[in-house]
Amino acid sequence: MCSILSVFDLRSGADLTPLRPLALSLSARQRHRGPDWSGVHADANAILVHERLAIVDPAGGSQPLRSADAALALAVNGEIYNHRDLERALTTPYEFQSGSDCEVINALYRDAVDGDIGAWLDRINGIFAFALWDGARGRYLIARDPIGVCPLYWGHDGDGRVWVASEMKALVRICEDVAAFPPGHWFDSATGELRRYYHRAWRDYDTTHGVEVPRQELREAFERAVHRQMMTDVPYGVLLSGGLDSSLVAACAARFARQRIEDDDRGEAWWPRLHSFAIGLEGSPDLAAAEVAAAALGTVHHGFRYTFEEGLDALPEVIRHIETFDVTTIRASTPMYLLARRIKAMGVKMVLSGEGSDEIFGGYLYFHKAPDARQFHEETIRKLDALHSFDCLRANKSMMAWGVEPRVPFLDVEFLDVAMRMDAQAKMVRVGPDGRRGIEKAVLREAFEGYLPDEILWRQKEQFSDGVGYGWIDGLKAHADAHVSDAELATAAARFEVTPPLTKEAYFYRVLFEQSFPGKACAETVPGGKSIACSSPAAIAWDAAFANAADPSGRAIAGVHQAALAVS
């Protein structure tokens, strides 16, 4: 995973001499994402800049990737897990110039240059954001992966040129209309249209009603997803909080760690010992649970501790990197950012993480209140659609701030097709004969019986920002209370035109965000400005207590956390 920056629609006959150094300087603002090498393609009509983090084919694979005839130039941030299958299915010969998994995008474009772009985009199993320039046709494509695991922004400068970048910080002072490029879409300059390519029948509950997915099928689909995403030529590890999701990722990875994935498991892995990483304050619930899970799985475990002051000191840089003022995201991003720095120091360049499971299986505590399967399913769809602005943004930007690539097997498109076609009735929190509610994500836990100790497999949900230590959130709220006056909060709507903050903590973060990202357009890239769980219309409809839940901590969700703990 890397960073890209491209500029298109250059004016014919204009002096482009200053544009190349400008593009390079803007791309340098993202170089933390790709510290290994920089590459540039520039001609009279397009400039593509790439900052590389070498994961696959580190000795080659430098970008922008060029076709043999030099007509195509491709800048990609991503990983294409099924690249070999795609290469074997090509109908038009293509002379590959590298061992990069991403070069298959050039080949797919050439294979169907006059065909349906969306069709071949939909065949890709991977995480990606790319800009492709076809110099022979004077045509460019921009596209982003289905869920939006890889960030991507675009906008126009004062001369009407189109700019594209992996992070908003590269465009904020040159594009007044900077915006997030939508996941699952592509833009084709030949038509001037932004179109969606990612469509799934399971988005409609009626197509899933009554559909059963055997536990074994669910388990095997996830195992394949983890196996695919272990594709790497550099040292890697797993994030292990000791919660269900990260522990399942680690358990599956441990089963495949000794074989080299890129060699079809025929040879021994270059780094056969699986390393796991966790972080928390002293006494953190996550650190204790991660030790139990790591011991059971036999990983080489690294549990790091940070102090509240270290987290507080990092906040300005965290917000500059993650490019949001969302309260939940900032709370959780800060320990993740600190963890990434420790991981980077150990020479690890890629980690597997557990994001996406709660959205697929209704793992957030307010799902306990879902009234029926249809509403449960529709809420999972809504949360999947929002992931690119919240958990995917957090995981990607917090880790990539230090050049560590996060991968998310739960959001593997093939696994999604298995898990989301299941009738949501099977995912709902069950009520026992005594009227007491059970635990969330029971269907997923049942699918992995025997993989983990029961105290991990059946551990109650903790939000990451809670699990690192309850003192983290409590300390942040106290710090904000001491630094934001009542008068400032009362006049927040006058100062902040877009989604004014509702709490002192949110106000504190908003001020830090505005320092790096001024203007209305930047603020509008942050939907809602507070926890998506608490601001969910569905959540409020299910339980009126959510309507006043300005604090997005799991412990604040209307007693569900305590009630669930009592049952589990």
Residue 105 has pLDDT above 90, yes or no: yes
Mean pLDDT for the stretch of residues 435-459: 91
Percentage helix, strand, coil for the chain under 3-state DSSP, each rounded to 5 = 45, 15, 40
The one catalytic residue among 2, 175, 392, 534: 2
Residue 558 has pLDDT above 80, yes or no: no
> Which one has a higher pLDDT value, 566 or 195?
195
Query: Do 207 and 149 belong together in one domain?
Result: no
* Domain CATH number, residue 10: 3.60.20.10
Q: What is the pLDDT of residue 561?
A: 47
Give the Cα separation of 35 and 195 in Å (integer).
33
Give the Cα separation of 475 and 470 in Å (integer).
9
Which of 154-158, 233-237, 260-264 comes out lowest in average pLDDT?
A: 260-264
Q: How far from 185 is each of 48, 70, 261, 384, CA to CA, in Å? A: 20, 26, 29, 15
Q: How far from 33 is each of 30, 143, 170, 238, 472, CA to CA, in Å? A: 6, 19, 12, 19, 27
Query: Do 221 and 178 belong together in one domain?
Result: no
- Here the tokens at position 407 are 């991968």
Query: Do 185 and 303 belong together in one domain?
Result: no
Mean pLDDT for the stretch of residues 363-382: 94
| H-helix or E-strand spanning residue 277 | strand 275-280
Q: Which among 168, 192, 169 is positioned nearest to 181, based on CA atoms?
A: 168
Query: Do 245 and 328 belong together in one domain?
Result: yes
Query: Do 302 and 257 belong together in one domain?
Result: yes
pTM over 0.85: yes
Q: What is the pLDDT of residue 564?
A: 45
Give the Cα separation of 388 and 179 in Å (integer).
13
Query: Do 147 and 26 belong together in one domain?
Result: yes
Mean pLDDT for the stretch of residues 416-427: 98
Q: Among 160, 179, 199, where does a domain finish?
A: 199
Q: Is 434 annotated as a binding residue?
A: no
Q: Would you place residue 466 in the very low, low, confident or very high pLDDT band (cuts 50, 70, 90)?
A: low
Query: Do 8 and 81 belong together in one domain?
Result: yes
- Here the tokens at position 378 are 């529709």
Give the Cα separation of 310 and 223 in Å (integer).
37
**Do residues 148 and 392 touch, judged by C-beta distance below 8 A?**
yes
Beta strands in 119-249 (DSSP E): 126-134, 139-144, 153-156, 162-165, 179-180, 185-188, 193-196, 236-239
> Which one has a higher pLDDT value, 411 or 554?
411
Q: Among 150, 183, 199, where does a domain finish?
A: 199
Give the Cα separation of 217 and 562 in Å (integer).
33
Query: Do 184 and 260 belong together in one domain?
Result: no
Q: Would you place residue 145 in the very low, low, confident or very high pLDDT band (cuts 50, 70, 90)?
A: very high
* Domain CATH number, residue 311: 3.40.50.620
Residue 366 has pLDDT above 70, yes or no: yes
Query: Do 174 and 255 belong together in one domain?
Result: no
> Which one has a higher pLDDT value, 365 or 239?
239
Q: Is 557 annotated as a binding residue?
A: no
Q: Is 100 annotated as a binding residue?
A: no
What's the sign of the alpha-carbon dihedral 89, 93, 99, 100?
negative
Residue 531 has pLDDT above 50, yes or no: no
Q: Among 171, 199, 227, where does a domain finish?
A: 199
Q: What are phi and psi of 458, to 5 degrees?
A: -115, 25
Mean pLDDT for the stretch of residues 71-86: 97
Residue range 82-99, pLDDT digits in tens: 999 999 999 999 999 999
Q: How many helices (H) and strands (E) does the chain have?
A: 25, 17
Q: What is the pLDDT of residue 568?
A: 38
Residue range 269-311, pLDDT digits in tens: 777 789 999 999 999 989 999 999 999 999 999 999 999 999 9
Q: What is the pLDDT of residue 567?
A: 39
Q: Is 381 annotated as a binding residue?
A: no
Range of the structural domain that residue 395 is part of: 203-567
Q: What is the pLDDT of residue 548?
A: 57
Residue 556 has pLDDT above 70, yes or no: no
Give the Cα separation of 103 and 105 in Å (integer).
5
Query: Do 192 and 300 belong together in one domain?
Result: no
Query: Do 268 and 376 belong together in one domain?
Result: yes
Residue range 203-235, pLDDT digits in tens: 999 999 999 999 999 999 999 999 999 998 889
Q: Which among 361, 353, 543 is positioned nearest to 440, based on CA atoms?
A: 361
Number of domains in the chain: 2
What's the sign of the alpha-carbon dihedral 37, 41, 46, 47?
positive
- Here the tokens at position 143 are 């596209």
Q: What is the pLDDT of residue 459?
A: 86
Give the Cα separation of 351 and 343 in Å (integer).
9
Residue range 468-500, pLDDT digits in tens: 878 999 999 999 999 999 999 999 999 999 999
**Do residues 320 and 169 touch, judged by C-beta distance below 8 A?**
yes
Residue 463 has pLDDT above 90, yes or no: no
Contacts of 33 (CB under 8 A, 6+ apart): 1, 2, 3, 51, 53, 77, 166, 167, 400, 403
Give the Cα separation of 275 and 269 in Å (integer).
13
Neighbours of 208 (CB within 10 A): 21
Residue 189 has pLDDT above 90, yes or no: yes
Mean pLDDT for the stretch of residues 532-558: 60
* Mean model confidence pLDDT for the chain: 91
**Do residues 240 and 278 touch, judged by C-beta distance below 8 A?**
yes
Residue 461 has pLDDT above 90, yes or no: no
Q: What is the pLDDT of residue 565?
A: 43
Active site residue 2: yes
Residue range 108-137, pLDDT digits in tens: 999 998 899 999 999 999 999 999 999 999
Query: Do 176 and 247 belong together in one domain?
Result: no
Give the Cα separation of 147 and 267 in Å (integer).
33
3-state secondary structure of 164: strand
